[in-house]
Amino acid sequence: MGRRLSRRAVLRGAGGIAIALPWLEIMGTPRPARAGGTGQARRFVSVYTPGGTVIDDGDGNNRWRPTGTEDAFELSPILAPLEVIREKLLVVDGLSMASASGEQHQAGIVAWLTGTGQGGDGYAQGPSIDQVIASQLGEGYPKSSIQMAVRWGTGKSHGLLHPINSAHFEDNATFDPIPPRLDPQAMFDGFFGSLDPEQGDFQARLERKASVLDLVDRRFEALAPGMGMADRHKLEQHLEKIRELELSLENLPVPTAICSVPERVDTSGYDPQTGLESSDDGSTVDTSTDEAIPEVGRFMMDMLVMALACDVTPVASLQWSDTEAKHTFPWLGLMQHHHYYQHDGGFRPQECEQIMVWYSEQHAYLLSAMDAVDMGGHSLLDESVVFFGSELAQPPTHSKANMPFLLAGGGGGLRGGRFLRNDGLADVSHNNLLVAILNLFGDERQVFGDPNYCSGPLTNLT
Amino acid sequence: MGVVRTINVVAFSAMCSCYAGVGELDDAGEGSMGSDGSGGSDSDGDTGEPLGCGVDASERATLRRLTRFEYNNTIEDLLGDDTNPGNAFPSEELANGFGNDANAQSVSSLLAEQYNTVAETVALRATATPEKLGELSPCAADITESTAAAEVDACAASLVEEFVARAFRRPLVAGEAEPYVELAAGVRPQADFATSIATVVEAVLQSPDFLYRVELGFVDEQGRRRPTGYEMASRLSYALWGTMPDQELLDAAEAGELVDAQSVAAHAERMLADERSRTMVRFFFDNLLPISALSQLERDPERYPLYSSSMGALMREETQRFLAYEIFEGPGTWDHALTAPYTFVNQELAEFYGIPGVEGDAFVKVDLDPEQRLGLLTQAGVLSGTIHSNETNPVVRGAFIMRELLCQDIPLPQGDILEEVKPPDPGSGATARERYSKHSEDEACSGCHAFMDPVGLALENYDPIGQWRDTENGAVIDPSGGVPGVQVVSGPLELVQTIAEAEQTHVCFVEKWANYAYGRRTTKDDACTQDRLEEAFTASGHDVVQLLRELTQTDEFLYLAPEGE
């Protein structure tokens, strides 16, 4: 990675006392060398949408599955908006989330990225692949991974972290569920604050923060050994996060040709914490926040793309709500909540399709934005792997067979422009997809998640 | 989940064809404990204290981190900052129902970032003016740019030492303040005095000694590990007030008190008589009862013109004031709270209820119509808070009472059954009883619904906004129902009496309070502690303040886990 003086090393050398230091070039982090679309994948993005898709519209038509052969296929009505990015899109059909055991919706979101069933506390029994990838790739970035969510915490979760809305689990001994960031303004400040030329005395502030965290770090370190095992584990887990913060101060993004501060969007009509006031059945409606979803979603996608391009993080995820999805879609003229159209009001295939098509449009936006970032001969999308999924395939039956998965990008040799039917492999477990994705990042394992449901990586991604 | 004494668990599991494992919002009944309270008592370890069970008898919560509620209160007491900055942290997990389950607390990257950001802004506010600095230490108010360096250093040193000790809720060991003093000194060449102090505040608010209730303890004369006086001060203040210890507690710790059951009890009694305990009790009931989001409920204004967001807020106030009165001024028992013939309303609420003669915004005590209302469970807030549509739902009302008041959590349907489940067609029956009749007629449903619906059906005289009604859609309402496993009833008043008299209600109340006070979910292994608390609760006639006092007299509260755990 090139020679770099650790800020902490210099500060510590003077007995931990904060010293004002000029911002020396040598203290910046050299950007990791960029692979040119070959070799291992460099970025991972996961995108979650609720309620699967329309597998059977009541007349036996599958509105999601493309028609045709692997290389010559027609996109379905629901996937049509992704036509613009077809060459980099891989439709992965025919997988089932066999490892998802537990409650209908919860088990699905918990298993989606982990390939494990719900444990005693309702959460996953293993890490999610994005966290595994972040452990391997994340060093040297201000954040090893970021999780964002739009209109999250609806229905029964009442805005709290809950198996009903948790998709990401730490790569540590206890696989703790990770709460996503909800506030678009806080995200903006958190990711791009250092790039903002308005922040005058930023340097001095940074020095002080580093000294503060250094002192806190040392106190955690001193305190932990004297405690019982369970308590020590808690402190050590917290200390890990403090250290992440310290590193993030040392590895700040710098403006470049491709990295610039996105435009800040006014999201004042949007209440990121509106989930706290939600009711179990979604009858508490927040119209102002729901109306802002398209704009906030777009803002978050812009930030996500720029966070990758600015090397804030190599791993990002976006959740469009959660498995409850008890919010309305005023811009589509749908005044009931999504779960109502899934089955609470009886399955409504037309309304569900309308929603799924809209999500496809958002996916197309995200992928096109990633494809437009030139990393030097290839696009950001080319060096990434993007994984789109849901917690089940079919809302009325909660079936998790034939999951509507999509991959996109070119990272690790991922080869787009294809429709993978996984024909004749009758119910291949999606764990095989998860481990194949890990392989794209240079992780050579052959099994991931619950081993009872993993027979090895899919071989047709590249 | 709680001692299942009055319900035949075996029959329940056999009948309930939809019981299949993890319930959606809580763990399924794993806590069926011994039925006669004899489990786990070890008289050898018993030091003669009435609630002793032997040191090893129960589990302990792991290291407890301040919850947002506690963080907010502590920041207010420590720095006079009442902006509730902790609300910026990601919400706690529901876990034990009160968001303070220590075993479910982990720190995400987001939370660590938030601790950092919030500490910075709180620190800035706390040092924004000479007056604010003066609150930290009198010498600090007079520091200006021209003050001599030596004087500035001396003031900073004394301020920091005192502040860190206060924030850590204990005296510092020799040299412990030095790194903080040095931190401030290091900042001063480039920044002003206020900034240097703010930097220390920022560090302190992220330190483990502040964010966690560290209990290193000591070994007493009987060879048992227990919290030090200062650590006990924090245990008491957070359990009974939800905030850091007050000066009296700290003085007691300094004087060598708080290391025996008697002095702990004495302080507990003082603290329960103090206003601050009401804040904690309010928080408890905000989480136990469905009343904290009443102002966000939506009702069809044409059908329910009397309901509004401000009415929802008033309903919550009614319930909270009623409980505060009952517990601290009135008869004080949980039975009475459930069956009191009065409530507290202001003019707006009185008009809502049709109670004459109340004027103005102040809340006053009024008698209830004895034909229609009795106690906590017939208050509009509790009745409305369980309903999230424009129709009543006996299942949800029943399930709420069973879960929160009787500690019986009925798991949600799964698999094939779930696929059959559809909300009833509003046109399928004039009354809720008719619309939900499938639950009792269909064998696949009745197994579980027999444990919820009868409770809710007995409350059908209260509409979705808690108003009394004798008919629904023109049909006369049949309010008969029952408390499963206890008794059938002919209407809501009898239901409420039955609940108040059921043993399980009081067992459950103890369990909920233990979960809250001890920061975890009680399990089978806590049978002895639970039984002792229940005995004391029963002996006091179910007095709530007494229960809170008794919670400080158990082994779990008075002692630490033995070494090596």
Print the SS3 string covering B224-261. Answer: CEECCHHHHHHHHHHHHCCCCCCHHHHHHHHCCCCCCH
The closest alpha carbon to B3, from B396, B510, B550, B556, belongs to B510
Distance CA(A35)–CA(A38), nearest Å, equals: 6
Residues of A in contact with B212 (CB under 8 A): 234-235
Residue A85: pLDDT band (50, 70, 90) is very high
Name, in order, each residue with C-beta under 8 angstroms of B484's C-beta and a sequence gap of 6 or more: B7, B402, B408, B450, B451, B452, B454, B455
- Is A106 within 8 Å of chain B by CB? yes
SS3 A13: helix
CB atoms within 10 A of CB B367: 11
Amino acid, res. B110:
L
CA distances from B352 to A375, B308, B379, B393, B563 (A): 66, 11, 12, 22, 58
| pLDDT value, residue A235 | 94
Question: Could you give the dihedral angle defined by the CA atoms of residues B139, B141, B144 and B150, in that order, rounded to the nearest 10 degrees?
Answer: 10
- Is A243 within 8 Å of chain B by CB? no
**Minimum distance, in Å, between the CA of residue B308 and any CA atom of chain A:** 13
| Beta partners for residue A48, in sequence order | A319, A389
For the record, the structure tokens of B244 come out as 């850091």
**Minimum distance, in Å, between the CA of residue A244 and any CA atom of chain B:** 8
Greater model confidence, B473 or B273:
B273
The model's pLDDT over B542-558, given as tens digits with 9 standing for 90+, comes to 999 999 999 999 999 99
DSSP structure class, residue A179: P
- Inspect the interface and report whether the beta carbons of A277 and B296 lie closer than 8 Å: yes
Measured between alpha carbons, how far apart are the two ends of chain B, in Å? 24
- Please identify among residues 55-94 of chain B the ones whose CB lies closer than 8 Å to any CB of chain A: 62-63, 65, 90-94
- Is A61 within 8 Å of chain B by CB? no
Asked if pLDDT for residue A275 goes beyond 80, the answer is: yes
| Beta partners for residue A91, in sequence order | A406, A419
CA A406 to chain centre: 14
Contact predicate B138/B130, CB 8 Å = no
Measured between alpha carbons, how far apart are the two ends of chain A, in Å? 28
CA distances from A26 to A4, A22, B45, B95 (A): 6, 11, 63, 47
CA distances from A116 to A119, A169, A449 (A): 8, 11, 5
ipTM of the complex: 0.83
The closest alpha carbon to A126, from A450, A443, A438, belongs to A450
| pLDDT value, residue A212 | 95
Question: Average model confidence (pLDDT) for chain B?
Answer: 86
| pLDDT value, residue B94 | 66
* H or E stretch at B347: helix B347-353
- Inspect the interface and report whether the beta carbons of B91 and A160 lie closer than 8 Å: yes
Q: What is this structure's pTM?
A: 0.80
Residue A197: pLDDT band (50, 70, 90) is low
The model's pLDDT over A393-420, given as tens digits with 9 standing for 90+, comes to 988 888 888 899 999 999 999 999 999 9
Distance CA(A289)–CA(A274), nearest Å, equals: 8
Contact predicate B414/B20, CB 8 Å = yes
- Is A217 within 8 Å of chain B by CB? no
Contact predicate A321/A150, CB 8 Å = yes
The model's pLDDT over A132-170, given as tens digits with 9 standing for 90+, comes to 999 999 887 888 999 999 999 988 787 888 888 999 999
Q: Give the CA count within 13 Å in the CB-facing half-sphere of B132.
A: 18
Provide φ and ψ at B392, rounded to 5°. -75, 160
**Burial class of B161 by CB neighbour count within 10 A (0 to 12, 13 to 18, 19+):** middle
| pLDDT value, residue A11 | 33
**Minimum distance, in Å, between the CA of residue B565 and any CA atom of chain A:** 6
Residue A89: pLDDT band (50, 70, 90) is very high
- Inspect the interface and report whether the beta carbons of B208 and A285 lie closer than 8 Å: no
Chain length of chain A: 462
Name, in order, each residue with C-beta under 8 angstroms of B287's C-beta and a sequence gap of 6 or more: B97, B98, B99
Q: Give the CA count within 13 Å in the CB-facing half-sphere of B72.
A: 14
DSSP structure class, residue A59: S
